[in-house]
A and B are shown apart, each in its own frame.
Chain A
């Protein structure tokens, strides 16, 4: 090194040292003690215990735990040390991306210290990585050392520099799920404003907003105000980019800006909201109330519903909030954040909450990889009344499935049930109970999403729905065929107030109407073997090696023994829902319905081949008989994805609707032998018929017809020249020609009286066909390969048989609650078995289909889906053994169009008639 350079280097070192010491002299050090707490509704929150700063500047923090957590104001260069004591039952950390790299967590009851330097000006979310969506988040605001903050734009366009001391108020607004969580900071005092608050300000006050987010993305919009996008535009010598909407990308994000309240626009209630349509529709909005200086109005903010407010078991004068976590967990799809408390009351479901009128229900998609809607299934008849209720928010729903959450205030007492349009067995129940009446209010009458109005809560349909809710949402209410004990359904033993003000015990009513301790039928094997294998999605079975539920159970149809359990722990296979295979039957295709993936599996050994992203919430998979291309219905979106045969990547999504139209959300599609893709479009209430060659729409036929609205077409069967479409909520089947013409509507509840209280005449031959049949909530409905018989699985616990020559129900067989999947397989020596699964039991029902006389079809066998010790598996079953039967698929594929393409080795096991089913 040359002497000259050495001198310069020395000088530089000296200068740097000087700068370093001077910055040390300016920087403050903050010593902070915080705790993580559990709030009365089961959500979590951070709480400030103590904050000392070497420069003496701290805030007046709220006394309790709040969401958002305490807002930490520091200056660039300050050092921060936070000692976090975890008073919750889960591990809690404190991540600060951009400032801290410490991702460790404190165990329950333990403390942990997080230290970092606030090196750069900015607004930073701090949060626990895991429970952030349940409330563990807050803001750290690092301001410049000179006290300057974001500039604002005046009414005549001038840009005004602002010091923090100029601000009259600051608002921290976290966008989480579909809810804003707010805090106000005024004169150094922090006040929690909770959910979707009304933010108050006096006109022309300088007000700074700190918008932050954790979880799915958002855009923030404030009406009638605008602000510069960048803070450093002056330094860059550019004109500011004026905006009034700002993207909060998924993950975590922040954006701070300053406005002069009402400048150029005046006083008023100006809405702020997320501008994602689904988030707007799920309640993500509030008001910025700007008052004129001399108006007599205070400009004070008004807090929204809070986790510490009035809910069942937590008396308070403030409006309360119960929270449901949206989850991929079987039964607990909407799980109360205080699930254990709720369970101890209901002894069964974790999906029921109770609030007084005026409190709110909050949903957060915190434990799911899928997209969902939060949709009113039923509600008290007055809840959408413009005078007594709120017809702007009830019934509650969203046009498109999405990631986020939901929030809705409920004023009218009575029973509310929410579901997901995409996964229509997800249920959340809320009883809004007027504390001044005896018993929990179920209300005089309820309205249903199907357009049924004023249904008495004493009716059979109402109590049947309540019973369905308790069975579907309670793992301990599912039917275990490996147990010798009778089936016992657990109901909440609580007094409820129903039609006419009558008060009765809910458990007693349900037991009196629907029985209790039912002896389950014995399992037995069919006497005639089947051909090949049956692959069953035991979608709820839990295994030890993964967090998500679901296995594939492979049954050897030649001897009725279980061949294999496939859980795929290496990819955390999530809710496997529906299956198909390639034409040589060597690769099995598996959808993950609460996720984004299609999985390819080696049929012979059950090994994972590929796990492919296909889109949000793929439901059904099927091949094109002509090309063997794979088609996957993207249930959470607006199309059917194609994966060309032999490849592992989707190359196109065929839209199921026109551009910009409401997404169809296709569920259980089928394909005609000539290659027309037929989809049941659950969100647009129609059957779509599409040309698989060019993706064009051939026809879209409205479905349903029994009830006024929301028929919810969900599955398709294709016969020789007819399409059968089940309507889940319309309890009907539409028969449609291949060109989309409606031929007939088969009402499955023609023999049922929904209105009267349960009695001997609830079900009787009302349509005069000499038979008493009922198909409540029909789902899968395939036509046998010869086109003779349709077998329909009805969630209400029946199997109905349709003779396609008559297109009417000719027989009814018993099934289990949650009866769901049907597919045909070959019977040895000729004919077909229909294999039927049920979500809420662990047996497979084998129906011997009588092609000569469909009315004589009968149950040929009942087979346990619980694996014994010797059954090969890639994981260990931990709970819900054999439960959750949904998609089902027999190998070889014997449907017309596919059976002809089988390799010779598979054809060898089939009869001539089976190889050419349509004569």
Chain B
């Protein structure tokens, strides 16, 4: 016997998230109407969050949908992502970069230091199950005020910052200078004040540095490489019993959902960036055999990293050999918690 992973179990695609709603008689019209009303009200009541600091970056208007999948999973889906100047000029719709179904991890939001995000969360599943009537987005790292914390009133003492079946919730983030890095976003409100981050409601926010450079290990030395040299970004969530990941073409921004223990591909000699984020209850040691990379914030070259839930570890390597990434923890090893890093010759 050996661990067998069902690749389909992590995604909403096969389950027809749209048809799920359509199966509920009268629901689509009702939902749409409530959404319109909700959006209208959120405009009327004004932005809950005041943008902080002088914005010099872009504005990202994002509509994110939270869905329920078979198997007890929940997941986020990108409904719309429009990038513009902060005054709304030069709108560019980049929604096609994302899978059109809910994924675990959820869509990776890639922005630049200085950008602002206006994120509207839509609760789109049947709320009959106890505790599933609220869902939120709590983001790490960047700036936001107390109304965009994505927590319950139980915690923030102001209000339940949740999307509910009849009302969207709008979060405003500012990736101010000093917040560059990769950060998790996740639910904080479903079921109780801890949220359902362990049921699939998580994703990554990548805030690229204004300086436009990344650190890379060249013959044991830390060297700066231009951000533009990165060909692929790999978002790799390290859960208690599996990895779950997305591969991003860094040039086009196109995101490919890869599911549990994903196999990443790279062209030999190109720079690729790993964004490893842990989530769950277990502690891990991440290892990419045969590679050394710069431990962020230091000059040290390392080949493995001890990590705990919601820590992030971001590093860039020049693709050389094909190898395997893994978590070396005892049970993770037995469960086959690993995946391939396939490097193809140019």
Residue contact A653 to B309, C-beta cutoff 8 Å? no
Known: A226-B179, A615-B334. A660 touches B297 (CB 8 A): no
Residue contact A613 to B297, C-beta cutoff 8 Å? no
Known: A266-B146, A271-B151. A219 touches B296 (CB 8 A): no
On chain A, the residues within 8 Å of B215 by CB distance are 238
A407 and B326 CA atoms in complex are apart in Å by 34
Residue contact B2 to A238, C-beta cutoff 8 Å? no
Known: A229-B296, A641-B334. A268 touches B149 (CB 8 A): yes
Between A242, A278, A692, the greatest number of chain B beta carbons within 10 A of the residue's beta carbon is seen for A242
Known: A156-B53, A662-B72, A694-B2. A655 touches B335 (CB 8 A): yes
On chain A, the residues within 8 Å of B178 by CB distance are 153-159, 226, 242, 264
Residue contact A156 to B177, C-beta cutoff 8 Å? yes
A275 and B309 CA atoms in complex are apart in Å by 6
Residue contact A233 to B149, C-beta cutoff 8 Å? no
A369 and B250 CA atoms in complex are apart in Å by 46
On chain A, the residues within 8 Å of B176 by CB distance are 155-157, 264
A544 and B144 CA atoms in complex are apart in Å by 60
CB distance from B45 to the nearest CB of A (A): 18
Residue contact B297 to A652, C-beta cutoff 8 Å? no
B5 within 8 A of A: yes
On chain A, the residues within 8 Å of B197 by CB distance are 277
Residue contact B1 to A658, C-beta cutoff 8 Å? no
Between B179, B215, B244, B334, the greatest number of chain A beta carbons within 10 A of the residue's beta carbon is seen for B334
Interface segment, one of A246-254, A435-443, A533-541: A246-254
On chain A, the residues within 8 Å of B10 by CB distance are 659-660
B140 within 8 A of A: yes
A662 and B149 CA atoms in complex are apart in Å by 26
Interface size on A, residues (CB 8 A): 82
**From residue 136 to 192 of chain B, which have CB atoms closer than 8 A to chain A?**
138, 140-141, 143-146, 149, 151-152, 154-158, 174, 176-181, 183, 192
A245 within 8 A of B: yes
A694 and B239 CA atoms in complex are apart in Å by 23
CB distance from A152 to the nearest CB of B (A): 10
Interface string of B105-147 (1 = CB under 8 A from A): 0000000010000000000000000000000001011011110
CB distance from A91 to the nearest CB of B (A): 30
A146 within 8 A of B: no
A637 within 8 A of B: yes
CB distance from A399 to the nearest CB of B (A): 6
A281 within 8 A of B: yes
Residue of A266, A278, A696 near B4 (CB, 8 A) is A696
CB distance from A789 to the nearest CB of B (A): 31
**From residue 37 to 82 of chain B, which have CB atoms closer than 8 A to chain A?**
52-53, 71-73
Residue of B1, B140, B141 near A691 (CB, 8 A) is B1
A219 and B197 CA atoms in complex are apart in Å by 15
Residue contact B308 to A217, C-beta cutoff 8 Å? yes
Residue contact A247 to B307, C-beta cutoff 8 Å? yes
Residue contact A228 to B297, C-beta cutoff 8 Å? yes
Between A157, A287, A651, A696, the greatest number of chain B beta carbons within 10 A of the residue's beta carbon is seen for A157
For the complex, would chain B's binding face be called helix, strand, loop or mixed by DSSP majority? loop
Q: Please name the residue on chain A nearest to B337 by beta carbon.
A: A659
Residue contact B143 to A637, C-beta cutoff 8 Å? no
Residue contact B72 to A661, C-beta cutoff 8 Å? yes
Residue contact A264 to B143, C-beta cutoff 8 Å? yes
Interface size on B, residues (CB 8 A): 76
On chain A, the residues within 8 Å of B192 by CB distance are 392
Residue contact B239 to A660, C-beta cutoff 8 Å? yes
A147 and B286 CA atoms in complex are apart in Å by 36
Residue of B209, B241, B310 near A219 (CB, 8 A) is B310
Residue of A219, A271, A287, A662 near B309 (CB, 8 A) is A219
On chain A, the residues within 8 Å of B281 by CB distance are 276-279, 400, 402
Known: A277-B198, A281-B194. A659 touches B260 (CB 8 A): yes
A267 within 8 A of B: yes
A439 and B10 CA atoms in complex are apart in Å by 54
A488 within 8 A of B: no
Known: A660-B242, A695-B4. A242 touches B180 (CB 8 A): yes
On chain B, the residues within 8 Å of A243 by CB distance are 181, 311-312
20 intermolecular pairs with C-beta atoms under 8 Å apart: A154-B178, A157-B177, A158-B178, A219-B309, A236-B299, A241-B296, A244-B141, A265-B52, A265-B144, A268-B145, A268-B158, A277-B194, A392-B154, A613-B330, A652-B3, A659-B10, A660-B200, A661-B72, A695-B1, A695-B3
Known: A219-B308, A233-B298, A400-B280. 15 other contacts (CB 8 A): A154-B178, A157-B178, A157-B179, A242-B181, A243-B311, A264-B53, A266-B145, A276-B308, A616-B331, A651-B334, A652-B334, A654-B2, A658-B9, A659-B244, A692-B1
Q: Ordered nearest first, which 6 A-B pairs have the shortest CB separation?
A: A241-B297, A157-B177, A157-B178, A268-B146, A659-B242, A653-B334
Binding site for B on A (CB under 8 A): 153-159, 217-219, 221, 223-224, 226, 228-230, 233, 236-250, 264-271, 275-281, 285, 287, 392, 399-400, 402, 613, 615-616, 634, 637-639, 641-642, 650-655, 658-663, 690-696
